[in-house]
Chains A and B, each alone.
Chain A
C-alpha cells in the first residue's frame, strides 16, 4: 500500500508538528515548571507552598491527560482531512 495517493508527506508532517508542539508543553510543565524553573516560580503561592510544587504533584499529571486527549482529537481530524482515516 503506497501512501502517496493520500498526500502522505503532508499528512506525516502535520502529525510531526502536532507531536512536537505537544511534547514542548509536556516538557515545559514537568521538566520546566516542576523542576528547573521552580525557583523562578517560587513567588507564586499555591495552598501553603509554591506553583512548582503544585505542578510536580498535581499540575503536570493533569496537563498530560489534557495533552493526550487533545492529540487524539486533533489527529482524528487530521486523518479525515487527508483521507487516511479508518473506514
Chain B
C-alpha cells in the first residue's frame, strides 16, 4: 500500500469516528449544547480538556521550539502546564458552583453590569478568533503535506467535519469527539518518541531516556548533544539564560493566560459537582503531561538525530554529501520547509551556526562559506517517524494526530465564541425572551457563522498570524483572569473597579505589544524596533501579559476603594460561590 493510501486510511478512519460520535451525541437542549447536559465524568472531562488545550502549536510546533532553544524554551513547558494549578485552585470550582453557561455571564452577574459582560464578550471573541486562525491554518498544512491536496481544499474538508459534529452536537458532541481525538493524538505523539528513545538510549520512556546514557557514545545523552552542537558553533543545549526577569515574566504570562482562556474554563462547567471540577483539573494535567513530558525528549533526541544524520562520521569529519541525503530531507525540501544551498560548492551539507563570531575562524579553516541548510522548526514532530526510519503506518498516525490536535482545539474555541454570541449577546442583550428552542437554533447558527469566518481567515491568514499567540494570551491573562479571580476572592471589587481594571490591563498590554510588533500588527508601523535593547527593563512584548494583569489588579482595587461597595446581594453571591453545597447542574436561571 502506498504511503498516500495509508495516510488516507488513518485520517479518513479518524474522521468517520468523529462523525459517528456526533450522530450519537446530538444536542437536544441549550444545556446539552453549552455544557453537555452537565453530566460529564471528571476523567472524561480531563481527557477532553487535554484535547481542547493541546493545539496544533503543542503537537506540531512546541518540540521544535524546544529543540531550537534548549533550556531557554522550557518556558512553554512550564507556562502551558502551570496555568492548570491556578485554574484548579483559583477559578474552576467556584465558577462551576456559580453554575451558568459562559464566562462573560459570570462577569456580568458578579459585577452587576451588562457593560462588564460586553467587555468580557469582546475580550473572549478577540482572543478566541485569533487563536482559531492558527488551528485552521495548521489543519490546512497537515492536509497538504500528508494527503496531497492543496491547503485551501484541505481546510474546507476539515471545516466540514468540524461543522458536522460541532453544529449538531454542541458541547456534547465536542466533548466525546475530543475524547477520541485525545486518544488519537497522544498515541500518535508517543509511539515515535518511544521508538526513538529505545534506539538512542535503550530506555522506553522518553522523559527518562533524555536523562540516560546515549548507547552509542557511552556519554549522557544531553552531554553528547551539548558536545555535538557546540562543535558546530551553536550554544549549549542546557545553557542558562541571562535575562531571568524576562524568563520569569514570560512563564507567568503563559500561566495566567492559560488559566484565563475561556474555551478551557467552560469545559469545567460540564461536570456534575464542584469536587468534580477540582478532580478534572488534575486529570486534565495528567493527560496533558503525557505529551508535555515527552516533548522535551522528542526535542533533544530529534536535534541529536538531525546532527548525526548530517555528520555521520562525527562533527570533526566531513558532513554528508547532498546526493547521499536521506529520503525525508528530499520530501521536506519539496514543501520548502527544508532549504539547501551549496555555498562552497563542495556538494556536501554544512549545517552549523554561521552567526557565531567566535566560530567563524574554525569555519573558514574547514572551508565552509556559511550555513547551507535551514530546517523549519515545525517539521520536527511531523518528520520524526521518517528521521527514525519508522514504518509507514506511524506516519499515517502522525497525520491523523496532527489533525486531531488542530480540530479539537478549533471546535472548543468555536463553541466558546458561539455561546458568547448566542447566550451573552442575543439572549443576554438583544432578545432576553427568546425560547430555549430559539436560543439553541441561534447557537447553531452562530457556530456555523464562526466556522465560516474561521475557515476564511485560515485560508487567508492576516499578516500577523505568527503574533496571535502573544495576543490571545495577553488578552486572556491581562483582562479575563484578574476579573474572574477578583470576582471570587474579593467582595469589595465593584462594577466600576472591574471594568476600569479590565480596560486598563487590556490597553496597557496592547499598547506595549503594538509598540514593538506594529499597531494592529500592520508591518512597519511599530514605534520601536523589536530588539532586546529597546524593551523596557528587558521585558519582551510576549512577556507583558503578566505586567498587564498586575495593572488590572491595581486599577480595579484602587478604583473600587474610592467608589461605593457592591450591593448586599452581590456580596451574598460571592459568598455562595465559595461554598460547594447546593451546586446543581449548570442551568439557565
Q: Taking beta carbons and an 8 Å cutoff, which residues of A are in contact with B?
A: 1-3, 6, 8, 11-12, 15, 19, 22-23, 26, 30-31, 34-36, 38-39, 46-50, 52-54, 56-58, 60-62, 64-65, 67-69, 71-72, 75-76, 79, 83-87
Contacts and interface: CB of A to CB of B under 8 A. Distances in A.
A39 to B, nearest CB: 7
B581 A85 contact: yes
Nearest to B201: A47
5 contacts: A48-B222, A60-B81, A64-B81, A79-B275, A86-B275
Q: Which 3 A-B pairs have the closest CB atoms?
A: A48-B220, A47-B211, A56-B74
A85 B212 contact: no
Given A26-B85, A38-B240, A57-B296, A86 B78 contact: no
A27 to B, nearest CB: 9
A58 B206 CA distance: 11
A58 B211 CA distance: 10
Given A49-B238, A53-B74, A71-B88, 20 more contacts: A3-B575, A30-B78, A31-B251, A35-B241, A35-B244, A35-B248, A48-B221, A56-B71, A56-B77, A58-B296, A60-B77, A61-B289, A64-B289, A68-B281, A68-B285, A79-B275, A79-B580, A84-B579, A86-B273, A86-B275
Contact of B207 (A30, A48, A58): A58
Interface of B is mostly: helix
Contacts of B293: 58, 61-62
A57 B74 CA distance: 6
A60 B241 CA distance: 18
Nearest to A45: B220
Question: Interface size bucket, B side?
Answer: 35 or more
Given A47-B211, A47-B220, A60 B89 contact: no
Given A11-B579, A79-B580, A68 B74 contact: no
Contacts of A39: 240
B211 A36 contact: no
A2 B289 contact: no
B533 interface: no
B275 A85 contact: yes
Contacts of B244: 35-36
B89 A61 contact: no
A64 B85 contact: yes
Contact of A2 (B224, B247, B285, B572): B572
Given A36-B244, A64-B82, A76-B275, A71 B292 contact: no
Interface in B244-264: 244, 247-248, 251-252
Interface string B364-393: 000000000000000000000000000000
Contacts of B10: none
B82 A86 contact: no
Nearest to B80: A61
Contacts of A76: 275, 278
Given A3-B579, A30-B82, A61-B78, A68 B88 contact: yes
Interface string B78-116: 100110110011100100000000000000000000000
B296 A65 contact: no
A35 B580 contact: no
Given A56-B74, A58-B293, A85 B580 contact: yes
A37 B251 CA distance: 15
A72 B88 CA distance: 8
Given A22-B85, A30-B82, A3 B578 contact: yes
A35 B247 contact: yes
Which of A54, A64, A86 lies at the interface centre, i.e. has the most chain B CB atoms within 10 A of its CB? A64
A71 B282 CA distance: 9
B84 A64 contact: yes
A66 B497 CA distance: 36
A35 B396 CA distance: 38
A71 B221 contact: no
Given A48-B222, A50-B238, A76-B275, A35 B251 contact: yes
A8 B579 CA distance: 8
Contact of A53 (B71, B93, B212, B286): B71
A75 B278 contact: yes
Contact of A31 (B241, B248, B274, B278): B248
Interface in B273-325: 273-275, 278-279, 281-282, 285-286, 289, 292-293, 296
A19 B289 contact: no
Contacts of A8: 575, 578-579
B64 to A, nearest CB: 15
B89 A19 contact: yes
A1 to B, nearest CB: 5
Contacts of B289: 61-62, 64-65
